[in-house]
């Protein structure tokens, strides 16, 4: 299926490619750029740079060069590098963009106070600890069609990341086909507890040993923890899927030390991708495909849906690549080349390939992820986890800014409390004087 939002596979320069590129550049406008910038978070201020008023507009040149103006609170903070990297990656993922330039400035005193007002409101909104912290990277595991191994990749990748001593949340967004509870061997129910006005749930937490240092952790939520059985989950089919996903994003008491949140997306990504983009625009997609060319074509559709929703596609993972027989001979049971082709077509890295390994399947059935045992499956997932952490979607770097962040959050909360107190005092004064 031809789609303008998927860049054609790397340049076989010729009239057709040139026309396609010119059309893509033509289709770019400032609002598309500003939309992808909603995915760039200032982790210190807990919101995206558009909402914070830091993205000051974009210019698109006829050759595909995009220049964005970004104003920082102070130009000295190391987070500038993070914002720069995210901004470039997001804009470059738009078809037609050939180069990205950032024009840095500083917020004026007045703008700064507006920005701080937004940040303060966010600090207060998040005070209930129920939203995913701004410092967690959000990775959605998606594919065009079912059965390619999204859930297996979600569980094993999350476990392999956690085995590096990191804290990883897992959201099973496959509301009626949930399989995460079985794959992690958890069958306890989660109870919602009253938290102020709202009912919130605390995720199931599993420690994950790390061979190199302090242990990591998996914090898991799934519809499977909330309903009696898969049949009751089916009743949800008619309800809006996005409501359930929103519930998992907002009404869960996510720990504030999370480094990653990995989301197992239901098959057929259209609606959910759009919903996710609205609820958490900084989410990035890892697209799973099998090596078969048919699967790859369907996965291409998932990529273009994501891009239409302005979600960044971070990379491709090929699952069930080859079967390695005990004598070392390799059999490409499901074809070959699908991962490479999809990655080239989407212009994103092929993060890794996972062979067909019986332990992935048996580990899933027994509730003990193969990534946490020894063997080729563990090695494959460890490699992919390392690439994710080092290159594809590194954790948010807070070094140097953390102390300032806490200071700022505390100041914001103190200011809010003072405002509230003042408002109460004013109110009672009014009541007294009128009585």
* Contacts of 4-11 spanning 24+ positions with Cβ under 8 A: 4/95, 5/95, 5/304, 5/307, 5/308, 6/95, 6/300, 6/303, 6/304, 6/307, 6/345, 6/346, 7/95, 7/345, 7/346, 7/347, 8/345, 9/341, 9/344, 9/345, 10/344, 10/347
Instruction: State in angstroms the smallest separation of the CB of 169 from Mg ion.
Output: 17
- Could you tell which of ligand ATP, Mg ion, none binds residue 135, using a CB distance below 5 to 8 A set by kind? none
Q: Which residue is nearest to ligand ATP (CB)?
A: 146
Select 225 or 310, whichever has its Cβ closest to ligand ATP: 225
**356 binding partner (options ligand ATP, Mg ion, none; Cβ < 5 to 8 Å by kind):** ligand ATP
CB of 146 to ligand ATP, least distance (A): 3
Cβ atoms < 10 Å from Cβ of 313: 23
Residue 24, binding choice from ligand ATP, Mg ion, none, Cβ under 5 to 8 Å by partner class: none
Burial 88-101 (b: 16+ CB within 10 A, else e): bbbbebbbbbeebe
Measured distance CA(175)–CA(264) in Å, rounded: 10
Least separation, in Å, of the C-beta of 290 and Mg ion?
Answer: 14
Provide the token pair at 76.
């000295």
CA distance 396 to 359: 32
Please list the alpha-helical segments (H only) found in 43-149.
Answer: 79-92, 109-125
- The secondary element (H helix, E strand) that includes residue 42 is strand 41-42
**Structure tokens given for 282:** 């900084």
Query: How many residues are present in the chain?
Result: 435
Candidates 84, 246, 293, 361: give the one binding ligand ATP (CB under 6 A).
361
Residues in 214-253 at the binding interface with ligand ATP, rule: CB under 6 A: none
393 binds, among Mg ion, ligand ATP, none (CB under 5 to 8 A by kind): none
C-alpha dihedral, 319 to 322 to 328 to 329, nearest 10°: 180
- Helix, strand, coil fractions of the chain, as percent rounded to 5: 45, 20, 35
Q: Site residues for ligand ATP, window 265-324 (CB under 6 A)?
A: 267, 319-320
Of 181, 364, 385, 389, the one binding ligand ATP (CB under 6 A) is 364
Binder among 115, 126, 151, 300 for Mg ion (CB under 5 A): 151
The CB-of-145 to Mg ion minimum distance in angstroms stands at 11
Residue 350 CB, shortest distance to ligand ATP, in Å, is 15
Q: Which does 376 bind (CB under 5 to 8 A by kind): ligand ATP, Mg ion, none?
A: none
Least separation, in Å, of the C-beta of 296 and ligand ATP? 14
Over the Cα atoms of the chain, what is R_g?
23
Min dist CB 147 to ligand ATP, Å, is 4
The CA dihedral of 113, 119, 122, 126, to the nearest 10 degrees, is -130
Two structure tokens written together for 113: 């106070």
Cα separation, 104 vs 118, whole angstroms: 21
x/- map, 177-216, ligand ATP, by CB under 6 A: x-x-------------------------------------
Q: Which does 357 bind (CB under 5 to 8 A by kind): ligand ATP, Mg ion, none?
A: ligand ATP
State the minimum distance, in angstroms, from the CB of residue 380 to ligand ATP.
8
- Under rule CB under 6 A, residue 357 binds ligand ATP: yes
Q: How many residues bind ligand ATP (CB under 6 A)?
A: 20
Q: Shortest distance, CB of residue 216 to Mg ion, whole angstroms?
A: 23
Q: Which does 149 bind (CB under 5 to 8 A by kind): ligand ATP, Mg ion, none?
A: ligand ATP
**Whole-angstrom distance, CA of residue 400 vs CA of residue 405:** 10
Region from 12-20, 143-151, 162-170, 322-330 binding Mg ion, contact rule CB under 5 A: 143-151
* Token couple for 330: 């390799």
Contact 371, 159 (CB under 8 A): yes
CB of 302 to ligand ATP, least distance (A): 12
Q: With contacts defined by CB under 5 A, name the span among 78-86, 176-184, 234-242, 394-402 that binds Mg ion.
A: 176-184
394 binds, among Mg ion, ligand ATP, none (CB under 5 to 8 A by kind): none
Residues in contact with ligand ATP by CB under 6 A are 143, 146-152, 174, 177, 179, 267, 319-320, 354, 356-357, 360-361, 364
Residues in contact with Mg ion by CB under 5 A are 150-151, 179
């Amino acid at each position: 299926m031809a789609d303008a939002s998927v860049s054609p596979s790397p340049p076989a320069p010729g009239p057709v490619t040139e026309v396609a590129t010119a059309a893509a550049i033509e289709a770019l406008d400032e609002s598309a750029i500003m939309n992808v910038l909603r995915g760039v978070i200032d982790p210190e201020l807990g919101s995206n740079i558009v909402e914070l008023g830091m993205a000051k507009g974009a210019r698109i040149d006829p050759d595909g060069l995009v220049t964005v103006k970004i104003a920082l609170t102070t130009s000295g903070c190391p987070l500038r590098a993070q914002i720069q990297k995210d901004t470039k990656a997001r804009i470059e993922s738009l078809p037609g963009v050939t180069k990205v330039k950032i024009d840095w400035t500083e917020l004026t005193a007045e703008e700064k106070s507006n920005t701080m007002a937004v940040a303060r409101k966010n600090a207060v909104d998040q005070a209930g600890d129920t939203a995913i912290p701004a410092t967690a990277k959000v990775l959605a595991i998606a594919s065009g069609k079912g059965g390619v191994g999204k859930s297996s990749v979600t569980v094993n990748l999350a476990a392999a990341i956690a085995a590096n001593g990191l804290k990883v949340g897992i959201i099973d967004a496959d509301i009626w086909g949930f399989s995460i509870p079985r794959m992690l061997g958890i069958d306890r129910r989660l109870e919602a507890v009253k938290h102020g006005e709202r009912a919130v749930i605390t995720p199931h937490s599993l420690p994950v040993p790390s061979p190199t240092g302090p242990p990591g952790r998996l914090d898991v939520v799934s519809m499977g923890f909330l309903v009696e059985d898969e049949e009751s989950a089916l009743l949800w089919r008619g309800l809006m899927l996005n409501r359930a996903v929103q519930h998992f994003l907002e009404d869960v008491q996510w720990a504030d030390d999370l480094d990653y949140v990995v989301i197992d997306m239901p098959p057929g990504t259209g609606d959910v991708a759009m919903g996710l983009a609205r609820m958490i625009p900084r989410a990035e997609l890892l697209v799973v495909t099998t090596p078969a060319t048919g699967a790859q074509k369907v996965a291409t559709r998932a990529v273009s849906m994501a891009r239409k929703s302005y979600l960044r596609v971070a990379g491709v993972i090929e699952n069930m690549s080859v079967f390695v027989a005990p004598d070392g001979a390799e059999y490409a049971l499901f074809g070959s080349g699908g991962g490479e082709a999809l990655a080239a077509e989407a212009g994103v890295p092929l993060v890794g390939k996972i062979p067909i390994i019986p332990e992935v399947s048996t580990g899933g059935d027994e509730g003990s992820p193969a990534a946490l045992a020894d063997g080729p499956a563990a090695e494959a997932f460890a490699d992919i986890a390392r690439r994710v952490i080092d290159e594809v979607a590194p954790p948010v770097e807070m070094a140097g800014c953390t102390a300032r962040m806490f200071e700022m959050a505390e100041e914001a909360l103190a200011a809010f409390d003072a405002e509230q107190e003042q408002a109460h005092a004013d109110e009672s004064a009014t009541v007294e004087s009128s009585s």
